[in-house]
A and B are shown apart, each in its own frame.
Chain A
Amino acid sequence: MLKFILKRILQAVPILIGISLVAFILLQLTPGGPTAAYRGIANIRGEDLARIEAELGYDRPIIIQYFSWLGQFITGDWGISFVARRPVFGLIMERLPATLLLMAAGITVSLIISVPLGLLAAIKRDTWVDHTLTFTSFVGLSIPVFWLGLMLIIVFSVWLGWFPTGGMGPPGEEFGILTRLKYLTLPTTAVSMVSLSFFTRYLRASMIETMDEEYMRFSKARGLPPVRRYMRHAFRNAGIPFVTVVAIHIPEFLVGALVVETIFTWPGTGRLFWDSALRFDYPVLMGVLVLGSLMVLLSNLLADVLYGQLDPRVRLD
């Protein structure tokens, strides 16, 4: 098992290098360039732009820039943000906890709600319970996240005043876990809505497929109590692909966080990426891109490992 994980991590290295090379070149190809934000300011002359680009090394050939970036990146020096003039690593690391918190909350809430609902829908297949759940799932799947976010703010913050409109906490004050939960509620709802519906649908389908198996009918014929049949026999089997899907789905929460973070002024990496893209801040964009790719690769690895753990027929080596 350890060997498998090590092997996969080693395989990830060339993939990450490939991704970073493509990303680096694509960024360089976009019109604008690092000094784009400076153009059109009457006081900033051509010679100023040339001086800045030379000082920051942007006048070198792209491939040299890339390898110099890569060399530094490996040693933990992710460069200096062109915009904030601060180390990129620190910039990202100070934003990462916020995004991880939002993702973790989103995943937890999605699972806590979708697992019982998915089971219920499958067990009560083709009844009004199932139809209602199917309908609400599709509604959840089709609501655009930014719209949902704004609606949540209008209803629960502006009209009812139950939750804050945004942020991670009251600025400049000390606060406890309850306050944090209050700030977390609306963004978590927004970020988990799509996944929640998706998980419910997936688990329902997976359960139904399992329940149609021979051994399920046999277990019923044996007279096993329903709880035991559904939980022990059906859910255990249906849960294996479900866990894989959930693990692979983790990066989706990162994408969702990008939108949600902007609406709820949540200070995470998604917003950092968005702001940096608007400002052509290459070093930060590269850092977030590589980190995002790493997260996708790790999620896939996690999916494989969990699959091996849950399904005795699968052996990883």
Chain B
Amino acid sequence: MKRMAILFAVLALVAAACGGGSGGDTETTTSTAAPAATGGGDTVTTSSAAPTSERPGGILTVGLFQEPDNLNPFLAVQTASRIIRDLVLEGLVDADPGGNFIPELSAVPSAADGTISADGLTVTYNLVDGVTWSDGHPFTSADVKFTWETVMNDANAVTTQKGYDVIASIDTPDDQTVVVTYSELYSPALSLFSIPEAILPAHVLEGATFGEAEFNRIPEGTGPFMVTAWDSGQSIILDANPNYRDPSRPLLDRIVFKIIPDQNAGIAQMRTGDIDVFWNVDSGVVEQFQNMDGVTVQVTPSSNVEYLGLNLSSGSDPAQPHFAFGDSNVRKALAMAIDRTPIIEDLLFGLSEAATSPIGLGWASPEGLSNPPYDPDGARALLEAAGWVDSGDGIREKDGQRLTLEISTPTGQQVRELTEQVLQEQFKAVGIELVINNVPAATLFGNWAENGKLQRGDFDIAMDTWGPDLDPAGFLSILFDSASIPQDPGGQGWNFFRLQSDKLDKAIADGASTLDLEARKAAYRIAVQEILDAGVYIPLYKRSKLDAFNNRVVGYSPNPWGEVTWNAEEWTINN
């Protein structure tokens, strides 16, 4: 009995020790941050140097279901990272909701004023005056040059050097001027250093590599906010940057990002008012947020399009046509057999709209496109003419081969699984049997060596989401250029449709051969038309971004090219 008592005592001690220990940690972490809590909002601003009179202040809490991997724009791949770091780090230029470039740390270079040379190989940036890093150190052209050198240093293992590796040199004639010279024309040049990347502080990172840099977690930036604490697994705290160039911004004192990995927990915290904003609501639970008093679900269009990708080949060899999709009439019939209305109205609660193009948004998005109208009779007639006739049980066949097609999408996504079932019904109505064969994402999108289904051509129809960045050059060439057809050994592209079209290849190349936006628009219009005519890419709907906002948050406006916090310096809280 005595020993049992000792055991209890030990357990109690362990509990107390752990409680005390981690409690202490939390206090030390947050003591570096400005005090908050009860009336802390005022303390933050008075203790800093920034003028406070016109700033309403306040603390806002945002729920993130994903914890950022890190906040380094050249290492991170998670969206949550960009949501936070876009408030801290800035690029040379930014994008407005219409997809047009706007100044950020620099004026927007243009051919009109000569800051883009006639041959497109020299781009001159005139930096904005009076910008400092949040520690007060001045921001200069040296930071831009340093950013390029850092990206090109292999020891930093950055995610991509694309574009940066065709820069021949960067000159900094003075502190406010950066002249970037390219060795070959790089059409998305204006996105470099900017979207989704940013300028790095030379005075902080000089002489170090990214390896274990504190910067990856607590980055030093020029933006309206600065990271003051990151409690792993719990929260990331951003406070107003007292050295921000516009003393009247941000309007809030502090934004707390709480990590809430579970959607249901997010619903509960929204209901209790523990969080003011919940980022990225699942379409499956959107109704629960919509039904909450005082909460609005903001719908932001995105460039991501949910589509069906048809395999033109039998297996991975583009020379072997697919038994059904080898015939363009079958592809056309498939497109005509799809009614998007029940998918959009019933499965997506009317919060998305039908997609008509792989480039659904932005300057490169062609106007006036429409899908072939829903026409089951027309589809039946096309299939009949192509030699696919009823085998007696309602499913068509030709030369003894049944018209049975397999559809694959990553497992575990409810809306997609339901969409497949809707399509199953619609295809059956025209005599096509659709078999659902969903696999884990890693199996579907695996590379050649891993026998990825798409790479190996081991599918009939794939349901996937993809969309272009602000500049569609990379997206079009990796998905549709015939040079991107995955093949042995170690094929790298994603033209898993195995679509080969000289006209398309030329249009993609033309679009990437100039910095003249009008000429590029014309080329991409041809490319998109060519893709749609080929019938291998059937756009279903535009993916919307859904974010829940407590109505006391004022100032949000949707921007398809930014993340939910893109204009958070303009947000206020009504109490």
B161 touches A51 (CB 8 A): yes
B237 touches A172 (CB 8 A): yes
Given contacts A31-B450, A32-B446, contact A177 B19 (CB under 8 A): yes
Q: Is A141 an interface residue (CB 8 A)?
A: no
For window 28-77 of A, CB contacts with B under 8 Å fall at: 30-33, 36-46, 48, 51-52, 55-56
A268 touches B233 (CB 8 A): yes
Contact size range, A: 35 or more
Q: Is A279 an interface residue (CB 8 A)?
A: yes
Residue from B15, B20, B268 having most chain A Cβ neighbours under 10 A: B15
B475 touches A108 (CB 8 A): no
Q: Is B175 an interface residue (CB 8 A)?
A: no
B475 touches A42 (CB 8 A): yes
Q: List 28 A-B contacts (CB under 8 A).
A: A30-B442, A32-B446, A38-B159, A39-B447, A43-B160, A45-B162, A46-B490, A48-B162, A56-B157, A85-B211, A86-B212, A87-B212, A111-B8, A112-B8, A153-B268, A158-B268, A158-B272, A165-B269, A167-B258, A169-B23, A172-B33, A172-B235, A177-B19, A231-B1, A232-B1, A262-B261, A271-B261, A272-B233
Q: A31-B442, A100-B14, A172-B254 are in contact. List 4 more A-B contacts (CB 8 A).
A: A48-B162, A167-B234, A172-B237, A309-B3
Within 8 Å by CB of A168, from B1, B22, B272, B466, lies B22
Cβ-closest chain A residue relative to B260: A265
Q: Is B108 an interface residue (CB 8 A)?
A: no
B442 touches A44 (CB 8 A): no
Tell me how far the C-beta of A215 lies from the nearest C-beta in chain B, rounded to whole angstroms.
17
Q: Is B208 an interface residue (CB 8 A)?
A: no
Tell me how far the C-beta of A228 lies from the nearest C-beta in chain B, rounded to whole angstroms.
11
Tell me how far the C-beta of B512 lies from the nearest C-beta in chain A, rounded to whole angstroms.
13
Q: Is B75 an interface residue (CB 8 A)?
A: yes
Tell me which residues across on chain A come within 8 A of B262, comparing CB atoms: 262-263, 265
For window 436-474 of B, CB contacts with A under 8 Å fall at: 440, 442-443, 445-447, 450-452, 466, 468-469, 474
Cβ-closest chain B residue relative to A99: B18
The CA of A111 and the CA of B5, in the complex, are separated in Å by: 11
Within 8 Å by CB of A265, from B14, B72, B261, lies B261
Cβ-closest chain B residue relative to A281: B69
Q: Is B11 an interface residue (CB 8 A)?
A: yes
Tell me how far the C-beta of B35 lies from the nearest C-beta in chain A, rounded to whole angstroms.
8
Given contacts A37-B77, A104-B15, A173-B37, contact A51 B154 (CB under 8 A): yes
Question: Residue-by-residue, is A247-285 near B (CB-CB < 8 Å gives 1, otherwise 0)?
Answer: 000000000000001111111100110110001000000
> Which of A16-24, A90-98, A192-200, A288-296 has 4 or more CB atoms under 8 Å from chain B?
A90-98
For window 157-179 of B, CB contacts with A under 8 Å fall at: 157-163
Within 8 Å by CB of B217, from A86, A97, A232, lies A86
Closest 10 CB pairs of A and B: A267-B233, A46-B492, A171-B235, A101-B18, A104-B15, A97-B22, A42-B474, A55-B157, A32-B442, A83-B69
Within 8 Å by CB of B159, from A33, A44, A157, lies A44
Q: Is A243 an interface residue (CB 8 A)?
A: yes
Within 8 Å by CB of B210, from A83, A85, A165, A271, lies A85
Within 8 Å by CB of B274, from A36, A44, A165, A173, lies A165
A161 touches B442 (CB 8 A): no
Cβ-closest chain B residue relative to A94: B232
B216 touches A86 (CB 8 A): yes
Within 8 Å by CB of B21, from A85, A97, A175, A184, lies A97
B157 touches A51 (CB 8 A): yes
Tell me how far the C-beta of A145 lies from the nearest C-beta in chain B, rounded to whole angstroms.
13
Q: Is A166 an interface residue (CB 8 A)?
A: yes
A85 touches B25 (CB 8 A): no
B450 touches A98 (CB 8 A): no
Residue from A36, A112, A161 having most chain B Cβ neighbours under 10 A: A36
B450 touches A32 (CB 8 A): yes
Tell me which residues across on chain A come within 8 A of B475, comparing CB atoms: 42
A310 touches B3 (CB 8 A): yes
B15 touches A166 (CB 8 A): no
The CA of A83 and the CA of B478, in the complex, are separated in Å by: 25
Given contacts A168-B26, A172-B36, contact A154 B268 (CB under 8 A): yes
B160 touches A263 (CB 8 A): no
B159 touches A95 (CB 8 A): no
Within 8 Å by CB of A85, from B22, B37, B75, lies B75
The CA of A95 and the CA of B500, in the complex, are separated in Å by: 51
Q: Is A235 an interface residue (CB 8 A)?
A: yes
For window 231-258 of B, CB contacts with A under 8 Å fall at: 231-235, 237, 254, 256, 258
Tell me which residues across on chain B come within 8 A of A165, comparing CB atoms: 265, 268-269, 272, 274
Q: Is A118 an interface residue (CB 8 A)?
A: no
The CA of A39 and the CA of B491, in the complex, are separated in Å by: 13
Given contacts A30-B442, A84-B216, A171-B258, contact A48 B265 (CB under 8 A): no
Q: Is B183 an interface residue (CB 8 A)?
A: no
The CA of A164 and the CA of B77, in the complex, are separated in Å by: 31
Q: Is A5 an interface residue (CB 8 A)?
A: no
Q: Is A133 an interface residue (CB 8 A)?
A: no
Tell me which residues across on chain A come within 8 A of B11, comparing CB atoms: 104, 107-108, 111
Q: Is B264 an interface residue (CB 8 A)?
A: yes
Tell me which residues across on chain B come within 8 A of A231, comparing CB atoms: 1
Q: Is A8 an interface residue (CB 8 A)?
A: no
The CA of A266 and the CA of B265, in the complex, are separated in Å by: 12
B69 touches A84 (CB 8 A): yes
A153 touches B1 (CB 8 A): no
Tell me which residues across on chain B come within 8 A of A309, comparing CB atoms: 3
